[in-house]
Structure 1
Amino acid sequence: MRIADELRQDIASGRYAVGETLPSIAKLRERFGAAGATIERALAVLREEGIITSRQGIPSVVTGAPEHDEAGDAPPEPSEEFTLLWNQLQEIREHLRQQKAKLDELDERTRDL
């Protein structure tokens, strides 16, 4: 949802105008540090909302702007549960990053054995 929200904001702000293509899934993966399946789910959300259209082998194209709330453009506050899960995910990512660094170091030290 976070990726869909950011892309929705990019479209609303004019970063990606109606008729323009979105970056490739590979570029979006790089930008968001997410798996391809996660990017695909975010794009599916935007397709369901009628904001983009896409077909296999063809880049996603912006077809409409997100609807704005009458109360303003501020996004809704995330739920407490979402915030808790998001923070836990960030901790897990940091632990994985640290473990990868340790494994890379170990691999480097044992390469010539």
Structure 2
Amino acid sequence: MNKEKFEKGLEIRKSVLGSDYVNKSIQNADDFNRPMQELVTEYCWGEVWARPGLPKKTRSIINLAMITALNRPHELKLHVRGAINNGLTKEEIQEVFLQTAIYCGVPAAIDSFRSAKEVFEEMENV
């Protein structure tokens, strides 16, 4: 593991997903899933998210579209929060899901709307 990329990834991951979530993920890692936490932090966040070519807001838009296409609601909820943290509005998230409805399928987009609505309600009640 590249310690420098891991630390940079940890910083970015916390800024997008929130320190509480990331700290809990790292602290709850065991011998079985710790390598996955390290891989995600170092490569997804420390290598790719750290690149200067796209701002975080754009990366969030791309992630929301891809996660919708893959129909991964747990990850989508996490990245809806990240998208809000990265400056996206509800209206922009809505547009991403409408766009994905056309190119990835209406059922996938409907699930994303449903998941995002749950996140928005949770965030409003905090």
TM-score (norm. length: structure 1): 0.32
The structure with the greater share of residues assigned to strand is 1
Higher helix content, 1 or 2: 2
Instruction: Look at both structures and tell me which one has the larger radius of gyration over its CA atoms.
Output: 1
